[in-house]
Structure 1
Amino acid sequence: MNRYKSKAWQECFLPRLSKKEIAELDKEKGVLVLPVGAVEQHGPHLPVYTDTLIAEGLLSAAFQLLSQEYQVWMLPPLSYGKSTEHLGHPGTMTLSATTLQQVILDIGKSAKASGFRRIVLFNTHGGNIDLLNMVARELRIETGLMVFRMNAMDFRSELTSMFSEKELTYGIHGGDVETSLVLAIEEGWVDMELAPTEFYHQELLDIKGGPFAAWVIDDLSESGISGNAKAATKEKGEEVISRLSKKIAETLAAMSEFEMESFQQKPTVKST
């Protein structure tokens, strides 16, 4: 995948435009997409740029599917996320929660000052999720922008026929899904000879939802991953991109049409 030659980067990358061109954009339905990833360890076989790379690859594919009627523009990826749970592993570069929150708020305020009404926080790092949920609401309150948060794995149900329930539940970091995706996007960045298999397991105290135990990666894993990276293939990654990009494109299109007032619209009652 040559993502930097795609529509997302060649036609819909906002910074390639001049201030005159940006001023002339239709901002009534326009949507800015801010990819938020991470630079952090993903085991011995994957690059530390994995999460941001996946964001770039998925959005590149999704933008190919959007028709010209949708004014959706991509901002430069915010590569650094909140990765404190991976500190101590070589290559992990993290922002504090406070810093990341302020950076996103400042970007949102700048979008507002440029006349935009909608911004999407497109996230591909699990460690960012809780923070982005909070920041999205704060940004809405402080600016009046319509703020959306989308995680790539919000659409994991699209992958149930491809991966085991165990992988989709416990393969949360550097496993089959992420390794397959990186193989599809930048195959040369993966060393499959070093790909491990390791799963955390705990039925009652989860690490994502429900009753919760706070954790860092060393609590879960010796290798720095959770999942079956050995099972990954480029072909699976290409299929994951195909399935997820369709849902991402559909969701971005819906966001461009969305108005906050629709939350209060009463259902239409048909007369008999």
Structure 2
Amino acid sequence: MNKRYSGFAFEENFLPRLSSVDIEHLSKEDALVILPIGAVEQHGPHLPVYTDTLIAEGLLEEAMLQLQHENIWVLPAIPYGKSNEHLGLSGTMSLSASTLQAVVMDLAISVCKSGFKKLLLFNTHGGNHDLLNMMAREIRIETGLMVFRLNPGFEAVNRLISQQEQRFGIHGGEVETSLIMELKGDWVQFDKSPTEFVNLSNNHHLHLKGNSYFAWVMNDISNTGIAGDARQATKEKGKMMKELIVSELVKTLKEMKHFSLGDLKKDYVNK
């Protein structure tokens, strides 16, 4: 038996497990289709290169357990992302920006032609973020689909980690290591876990991400391939982090599923 496609999420919410006829007869007006987008890229000496995609699949599987009565469907994850900031570090398999744009657009058009009205781009790799923000609007214009873009809310775990980790622990650090220890612990080589933080102590207005930002590749900011303190990770923290992130994710998915663009202007009165 292939255990990869077992469990509630795959039995109840995995769109490709249905036949074409089944999908044709699904209620489309109130359905939300989720396209997970991850990455295959280096995450230091201790984590698998599949980390980002594992997180996408693991969070969605857990969320679906709490969304049993919602008309929400999950597509297979795109396991490759725009990871060129990690190229040259072994195991990184990157798509170009133009290739990822084309793949996402082609799949969105396919979702539209199957009759669905809502699509979520569910992203778990930071290098995809800006591109998918842009693509969400391009898909809206091209297809008429209502399009959402969501990164899981890692800020929900801030109470569990230090301020230094919150600001600089962006890759392979305490959060991702804890999550993989919970989701797929036998793939973690914890004895090799490093600690490395980028040196921005004299810069108060420049950040690795956000509104005041400088362009970087991983070799600019790290010797180990990570940014954060992986040694502080535990499976117990990973379980708590998963629960906190999934709690917010479930609320957000419900809101997206019931959201309507048609409601945004209905109360306007021309005076």
Report if the CA contact (8 A) 2:33-2:120 is conserved: yes
CA distance in 2: counterparts of 1:57 and 1:4, whole angstroms: 12
Report if the CA contact (8 A) 2:196-2:227 is conserved: yes
Q: Where in structure 2 are there 5+ consecutive unaligned residues?
A: none
Deviation at residue 266 of structure 1 after TM alignment: 3.0
Deviation at residue 4 of structure 1 after TM alignment: 4.4
The residue that corresponds to 1:86 in the other structure is 86
The residue that corresponds to 1:142 in the other structure is 142
Deviation at residue 223 of structure 1 after TM alignment: 0.2
Q: Over aligned residues, Cα RMSD in angstroms?
A: 1.5
Mapped pair 1:7 → 2:5: no
Mapped pair 1:181 → 2:179: yes
Amino acid at match of 2:64: F
- CA-to-partner distance for each residue in 1:148-199, whole Å, 9 max, x for gaps? 00001xx233212211121121100000000000000110000011000001
Deviation at residue 9 of structure 1 after TM alignment: 1.2
Deviation at residue 6 of structure 1 after TM alignment: 2.6
Amino acid at match of 1:170: F
Q: TM-score, normalised by structure 1?
A: 0.94
The residue that corresponds to 2:125 in the other structure is 125
Q: Where in structure 1 are there 5+ consecutive unaligned residues?
A: none
Mapped pair 1:50 → 2:56: no
CA distance in 2: counterparts of 1:106 and 1:148, whole angstroms: 16
CA distance in 1: counterparts of 2:165 and 2:14, whole angstroms: 34
Amino acid at match of 1:80: Y
SS at match of 1:166: helix
Identity fraction in percent: 51
Deviation at residue 5 of structure 1 after TM alignment: 3.0
SS at match of 1:244: helix
Report if the CA contact (8 A) 1:122-1:151 is conserved: yes
| Higher mean C-alpha deviation, range 125-134 or range 8-17 | 8-17
SS at match of 2:129: helix
CA distance in 1: counterparts of 2:156 and 2:266, whole angstroms: 30
Mapped pair 1:108 → 2:108: yes
CA distance in 1: counterparts of 2:62 and 2:112, whole angstroms: 27
Mapped pair 1:72 → 2:45: no
The residue that corresponds to 1:196 in the other structure is 194
Report if the CA contact (8 A) 1:170-1:201 is conserved: no
Count of residues in correspondence between the two structures:
264
Deviation at residue 210 of structure 1 after TM alignment: 2.1
Amino acid at match of 1:238: K
Amino acid at match of 1:190: V
Q: TM-score, normalised by structure 2?
A: 0.94
Report if the CA contact (8 A) 1:80-1:94 is conserved: yes
- CA-to-partner distance for each residue in 1:229-250, whole Å, 9 max, x for gaps? 0010011111111111111111
